[in-house]
Amino acid sequence: MRKLSRSWLIKKTQINPMQNFKLVIEYDGTRFFGWQRQADKPTIQAALESVLSIILNQEIRIHGSGRTDAGVHARGQVAHFHADTRLTPEAIKKGVNSMMRHPVVVMACDTVPQDFHAQYWVKSKEYRYYILNRREPSAIGSDYVWHVNRPLDMDAMNKCAEHLVGAHDFKAFENTGSPRSSTVRQVFEATWQKDGENILVFRISASGFLKNMVRNIVGTLKDAGAGKLSEQQFCQVLSSCDRTLAGATAPARGLFLHQVIY
């Protein structure tokens, strides 16, 4: 009994190493004011930090792969945080998922090298955008689609989308308010596919994205699908680097951060 007590004491008093944890997170962004912490407003970052701080009994600050706007969802957002703990990643994941009172779920938790950074180490990100294309509005899942009642020509949208692939200056699709040193990004994939009878899904993966880039691209491609913009005109918009020539910003609700690759 003595021996047991003593070894327990030693374990308790030894200094635990600071560990780096990587989270993969799913969330429904509908009722949040976006990813990033803000004073007095519910955000995904704040929801996670407050639960993690309780579980780990220390103040936790998490760093996401990037922000998502109010109403935008994620199936595979990634964040990292440092903590001094003996809890296993699995215990942290279970703890968050059982304590969380918001639609935020930890899909995976792993220890990663000390210098892993969820934002700076990103190799590529994939977003998906969902359009419900039918005359009747949406009753089911309306928080997750953009309803477009005018019939869209998916082939025309795909022909335009092909021109996005490669390294381009995407300034025409960047909203103001987030100045970057460079507006050149490398797009690896940009395709529309049908899902069922009347859902159109846009998949776009790139080295990185500018502010509102996916939603501005989708708003412009929708104009192409509706016959308001030719393929040639779409190329002109892209090469103009002029935001005023591109289409309107598509609503947040149809957008999902699908995965982040490191």
Shortest Å distance, C-beta 37 to its own copies: 19
CB nearer to its own copies: give 28 or 231: 28
Binding site for its own copies (CB under 8 A): 26-28, 73, 75, 93, 97, 103-107, 136-142, 144
Most distant CA pair in the chain: distance in Å?
Answer: 82
Shortest Å distance, C-beta 80 to its own copies: 19
CB nearer to its own copies: give 77 or 216: 77
CB nearer to its own copies: give 75 or 117: 75
d(CA 153, CA 222): 9
Shortest Å distance, C-beta 77 to its own copies: 11
Q: Is 69 a catalytic residue?
A: yes
DSSP state of 230: -
CB nearer to its own copies: give 40 or 197: 197
Shortest Å distance, C-beta 127 to its own copies: 15
Shortest Å distance, C-beta 103 to its own copies: 4
Query: What residues have CB less than 8 Å from 26, skipping those under 6 apart?
Result: 74, 75, 76, 77, 104, 105, 107
SS3 content of the chain, % helix, strand, coil (to 5): 30, 30, 40
Sign of CA dihedral 76, 59, 81, 69: positive
Torsion angle in degrees (nearest 10) through CA of 49, 51, 55, 56: 10
d(CA 167, CA 43): 33
CB nearer to its own copies: give 106 or 157: 106
How far does the chain reach from its first CA to its final CA, in angstroms?
48
d(CA 3, CA 54): 32
**Annotated active-site residue in 28, 69, 143, 155:** 69
Which residues form the catalytic set? 69
